[in-house]
Structure 1
Amino acid sequence: MTGPTSSAAVFRRLAALGVAVGLLAGGTACTASNKGPQVTDTATARPNTSESGTVPASPSTESATPSSTTGGTSPSTTPGTSGDAGPAAVPTALSWKTYSDPAKVVSFDVPQDWIVQSVTPDAGTLPGALKVEVKDASGKYVATLQTGLPAAGAQACPSGQGHPYVVVSSVPINVPHSGGPGTIDPRVVFRVVQGYKFFGSYGITNVVAGADGQACELRNRVKGPAGKGDFSFGDVVDLHAFSADEKVAPVKAFDTLDLAAKYVAHGTEFANVQRMLLSLKVNL
């Protein structure tokens, strides 16, 4: 394994793939019972470039003015209007359904044959917290949605302890959130951090990861409105550079950054996951 990849080398390699990268901080099936999670069939999906396309964040995204605090959903933002564009993998699932918890706090779309299951929230979460696991048709884990997470404190990353990372894909998402120092407007992201391999993770976030393309931890969480706790939707809540003796799954591990970019630009798995994440609606 060679040393850390330079920013210039990253851009040159990914440019050849047509992918721009921003260096920034950036089981039981559901039932339709009135007493359980609600699942509604949706119309057959058609390829939607603006929704499923990878839209890499520009370097200015996280250095912009911190987002304002809001207790409700902000005005709708159409994915793909950030001024950046990239190749788009098209979701392969032809039929989708909508999951909603009984209290209709959250809802999101999943392929018709995927499994969505409500499980017991983790200890320490706020009263009324939700935890929902998503698996594909074969039973393979895809993502977890959690609400009521205790507010995360400021990230500590001592000098020299950070790892190089890149934001391969970043698309705006319209969910309620709190702003302030260290935050951005919410995004659906796929980010890669470099360790002995390149470790990639997808999720939603409005938390700045690090400075100068270095981070100790990438957080897949959104700071919720005051008193509501944070919420997360992704494969893991926090991503770091794994050591060789750690279990990596469900995080993706790539031998090269090019392979990570290809997973986003051409992978139908990511395209389906990205559409699911972008469909999230939260009522806090």
Structure 2
Amino acid sequence: MDAVRLRSRPESARRAARSPRITGAGIAAVSLAVVVGSLLTACGSGQSTPTWTAVGPSGASASASAGASGGTSASASGTPSPGATAAKWKTFSDPGKTVSFELPDEWIVQSGAAAAGSSAGALHFDVKKADGTFVAALQTGLPQPTQQACDPAQAKAYSVLNSLPVTLPFTDSVTAISPRFVFRVIQGYKYFGSFGLVGVATVSQDGKACKLANVVPGPASIGGYAFSDVLELAPLSPQAQVAPLQAFDNLAQASAYVQNSGDFANAQRMIMSLKFLKTS
């Protein structure tokens, strides 16, 4: 991959209040503090070792190479968001300069294979914590999402515990809604939770659904896109692998996760910082 440069600047914070939990299919506006990012960096598929240049508050600069794993590292001063726990942040941009987003300084970005059925030029980047734990994936060029039929007998109760509007492009249609970041749980043998961008209305009957899609219908140049832990939230069987979904014994635990988890706050800030640099 071509080398990519980055620069840093002090962060400035803007605050918003978080709303209480809301159950059922309704979406409630809540907010979480979002801080403007401090570093510009990038990483790639590992085809070459990218380099970065970090500019400190005094104007001094330093350069280093990313690790062979495909992650990046950088140093800069910064202050933590009132919600997010990471004190240092950087901004990832792909080599083609088509997308960018902020992430904690210690997290890494790795390129992945495009999903089946994706369009030409589709992107796939996995974000992981420093220990390799998967956080979320950004994917573009996905097939455009549509509402899915749901057999009432198979539908399960679900709840929206967090919902925030985001300013991102989408293709207006009968089923599309303005993109939002949401955290939802659906009831199976446990309460399974998932976070990410949503842009399609859920087929819901009495607060129940079969599946909850974390995909936004984007314009033709972007296709369907997702920035989430999974593309689709559905109840799992006891034999299924739960990760990367969160699993809770009850809604109170799920609500506490949304209110208190630093990892969730960091992931929310990261996903809500997504920008499309080219839309045509």
Q: Tell me, yes or no, whether TM beats 0.5.
A: yes
Partner of 2:110 in structure 1?
A: 117
Kindly report the root-mean-square deviation, in angstroms, between the aligned alpha carbons of the 2 structures. Answer: 2.6
| Bigger relative CO (Cα 8 Å, ≥ 6 apart) | 1
Sequence identity, in percent? 42
Query: After superposition, where does 1:115-154 map in structure 2 within 5 Å?
Result: 115-154=108-147
Change (3 A) 1:237 1:40: farther
Residue of 229, 235, 244 corresponding to 1:235:
229
Query: Contact between 1:199 and 1:254, CA under 8 Å: does it hold in 2?
Result: yes
TM-score, reference length from structure 1? 0.73
Does residue 10 of structure 2 align to residue 43 of structure 1? yes
Alpha-carbon shift at residue 40 of structure 1 (Å): 4.5
Query: After superposition, where does 1:68-217 map in structure 2 within 5 Å?
Result: 84-85=29-30, 90-211=83-204, 212-217=206-211
Task: List runs of 5+ in structure 1 lacking aligned partners.
Answer: 1-32, 63-81
Query: Contact between 1:42 and 1:96, CA under 8 Å: does it hold in 2?
Result: no
Change (3 A) 1:224 1:101: same
SS in 2 for 1:225: coil
Mark the structure with the bigger radius of gyration: 2
Deviations, residues 45-82 of structure 1 (Å, cap 9, x unaligned): 65x432x84576798966xxxxxxxxxxxxxxxxxxx7
Partner of 2:238 in structure 1?
A: 244
SS in 1 for 2:216: coil
SS in 2 for 1:260: helix
Residue of 260, 264, 275 corresponding to 2:258:
264
Name segments (4+ residues, structure 1) moved above 2 Å: 36-46, 52-62, 84-89
Which structure dedicates a bigger proportion of its chain to strand? 2
TM-score, reference length from structure 2? 0.74
Deviations, residues 117-170 of structure 1 (Å, cap 9, x unaligned): 122222321000000010012221100000000123430211221100010000
Task: List runs of 5+ in structure 2 lacking aligned partners.
Answer: 34-81
Matches of 2:265 and 2:185, distance apart in 1: 17
Query: Contact between 1:42 and 1:98, CA under 8 Å: does it hold in 2?
Result: no
Aligned residues: 229
